[in-house]
């Protein structure tokens, strides 16, 4: 059975790192680690994102360049996926001693120029399509996650601040609408001003509480009102001004 120690001995014996360089060695280690996890299967799939992380590369262009060079040297065969969102297939070569022929000068007619020309076309097509699709998906997912976090954070803040038990799902759409014109901090300011008013919190003739999250998020008019409206010192003062407050 293949062992990592055996691969490293073969790799050193053929002077591998002189040809692969440190980036190539890091990519091989990432592939060998994956193979080890799969009981040394010589054929498996991996995403570029996983390889970027495990090999420690900063960009996908570097990954593609190093992968093409290692494939040319015979360390593995790489089969591109038909769909850019799917994983590429790697078929590893574990008998590294036979790769020594690939290292002789007559078998290596200017690897750098071949790689650079091949990579230039690969990068322009593969990176522009594969990377852009993966990056766009990640950005979309991250943006959606961030928005959901904003909604949850605000509702959770409101619940803890005013002792309510509102659910995020109930107010997500209203928050989405209000956030088109206001910031989270402005909504918090309006909520605090609203709850600071005695009349709005039930100190009125009917005892009715008008200071609710539903009322605040109902429309822009209500948010505007409590962004500038301060609470009254006397709940009975200027009653008429608040008589229609719940109807707006």
Residue pLDDT, tens place only, 112-149: 444 445 445 555 555 555 555 555 655 665 555 566 68
- How far apart (Å, rounded) are the C-alpha atoms in residues 67 and 55? 11
> For residue 138, what pLDDT is reported?
59
pLDDT band at 70 (very low <50, low <70, confident <90, very high): very high
CB 132 within 8 A of CB 44: no
pLDDT of 54-68, one tens digit each? Answer: 999 989 899 999 999
User: What is the pTM (predicted TM-score) of this model?
Assistant: 0.43
Return the CATH number of 4-137, one of 1.10.3720, 1.10.3470, 1.20.1440, 1.10.10: 1.10.10
What is residue 111's predicted lDDT score, i.e. its pLDDT? 41
pLDDT of residue 216: 94
DSSP, res 241: G
Distances (CA, A) of 236 to 190, 220, 233: 22, 26, 9
Tokens 């038990």 correspond to 165
Q: Which residue has the higher pLDDT, 203 or 233?
A: 203
Angle subtended at Cα 217 by Cα 213 and Cα 222, rounded to the nearest 5 degrees: 105
Whether 81 has a pLDDT exceeding 90, the answer reads no
Residue 88 dihedral angles phi and psi, to the nearest 5°: -80, 155
- Contact between 96 and 10 under an 8 Å Cβ cutoff? The reply is yes
Domain spans, the chain: 4-137, 166-247
Q: What's the CA gap between 181 and 213, in Å, rounded?
A: 17
Q: Residues 15-23: what's their mean pLDDT?
A: 87
* Distance in angstroms (rounded) separating the CA atoms of residues 197 and 11: 76
Other C-beta atoms closer than 10 Å to the C-beta of 112 total 9
Q: Radius of gyration of the chain from Cα atoms?
A: 31
A 10 A CB-CB count for 130 gives 20
Alpha helices, DSSP H, located in 90-167: 111-122, 132-162
């Amino acid at each position: 059975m293949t062992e990592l120690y055996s691969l490293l001995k073969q790799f050193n014996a053929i002077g591998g790192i002189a040809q692969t360089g440190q980036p190539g060695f890091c990519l091989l280690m990432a592939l060998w680690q994956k193979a080890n996890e799969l009981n040394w299967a010589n054929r498996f799939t991996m995403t570029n994102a996983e390889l970027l992380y495990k090999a420690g590369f900063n960009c996908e262009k570097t990954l593609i360049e190093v992968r093409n060079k290692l494939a040319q040297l015979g360390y593995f065969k790489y089969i591109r996926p038909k769909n850019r969102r799917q994983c590429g297939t790697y078929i590893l070569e574990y008998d590294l001693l036979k790769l020594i022929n690939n290292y002789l000068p007559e078998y290596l007619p200017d690897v750098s120029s071949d790689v650079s020309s091949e990579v230039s076309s690969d990068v322009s097509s593969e990176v522009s399509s594969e990377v852009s699709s993966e990056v766009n998906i990640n950005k979309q997912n991250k943006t959606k996650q961030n928005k959901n976090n904003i909604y949850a954070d605000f509702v959770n803040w409101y619940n803890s601040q005013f002792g309510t038990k509102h659910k995020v799902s109930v107010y997500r759409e209203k928050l989405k609408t209000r956030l088109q014109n206001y910031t989270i901090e402005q909504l918090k300011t309006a909520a605090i001003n609203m709850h600071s008013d005695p009349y709005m919190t039930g100190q009125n003739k009917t005892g009715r509480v008008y200071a609710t999250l539903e009322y605040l998020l109902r429309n822009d008019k209500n948010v505007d009102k409590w962004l500038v409206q301060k609470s009254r010192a006397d709940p009975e003062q200027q009653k008429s001004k608040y008589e229609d407050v719940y109807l707006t």
